[in-house]
A = this chain, B = another copy of it.
Amino acid sequence: MIPSDNYPSSALRDAVEAISSLPGVGSRSALRLALHLLKQPPEKIHRFASAVDNLAEGVHYCKTCMMVADGDQCDICADSRRDHDTICVVESVRDVMSIEATGQYHGVYHVLGGIISPINGVGPSDLTIRELVARVGPGTEVVLALSGDVEGETTAFYIYRQIEGSGCKVTTLARGLGFGDELEYADTLTLGRSIVNRQIFKP
């Protein structure tokens, strides 16, 4: 709506352009956010900028599981109480945080750093699959916790093929009706899986 040559200040224009480069932030929202920051005291602006700047060098990756960490090893891999023979394979850092938030998983992780997606030009070699293969062997359980879409299924199948000869056990997330889901609105595939994989009722 607002032409880009209409900015009254080049510093404001630069900030709006930077902010609108974020996914899901249009130029209108970016302007709103930049003007909000502009109203803050300079120290707060500096603090904001340095917190973001610090992402470039302040974030490390765990050498074992590729999770974001403060150093060479993440807290989860460093925790001896976790089951290091159960490795949950996820697409991203966010998925680790989501599973950790459930409090239901006590193994370790392996962050792929993406999902196989030919459309987006992401192939198996762009992911940390080789590093995963090096971690598994007899006695290891690999939990494939990938999305239920085509790309997730493709990636799961590719990984399965790479590790099936290692003697590890490969499992995947249970699929079924979500808690609170209404039966009549469930898609047939999910509902079908829910019936096939029905479980003993525990009242």
Which residue in B3, B8, B18 is a CB contact (below 8 Å) of A101? B3
By a CB distance below 8 angstroms, the chain B residues around A35 are 92-94
- Residue-wise, chain A 8-40 has the 8 Å CB interface mask toward B (1 for contact) of 111110110111011111000101111111100
Q: In A69-88, which residues have CB < 8 Å from any B CB?
A: 69-70, 74-76
Majority-rule SS of A interface residues: helix
By a CB distance below 8 angstroms, the chain B residues around A54 are 11, 14-15
Verify B68–A9 contact, CB threshold 8 A. yes
Q: Is A63 an interface residue (CB 8 A)?
A: no
Verify B9–A37 contact, CB threshold 8 A. no
Verify B2–A58 contact, CB threshold 8 A. no
Interface residue range, chain A: 35 or more
Q: Report A76 CB to chain B, min CB distance, Å.
A: 8
By a CB distance below 8 angstroms, the chain B residues around A57 are 42
Which residue in B9, B14, B52, B74 is a CB contact (below 8 Å) of A8? B74
Other A-B contacts than A8-B67, A8-B75, A49-B50, 10 sampled, CB-CB below 8 A, are A6-B97, A6-B100, A8-B74, A10-B70, A11-B55, A15-B55, A18-B51, A38-B55, A45-B55, A52-B52
Q: Please list the residues of chain A having a beta carbon within 8 angstroms of any beta carbon in chain B.
A: 1-3, 6-12, 14-15, 17-19, 21-25, 29, 31-38, 42, 45-60, 67-70, 74-76, 92-94, 96-98, 100-101
The 7 closest A-B pairs by CB, nearest first: A11-B58, A49-B53, A18-B51, A42-B56, A45-B56, A14-B51, A49-B52
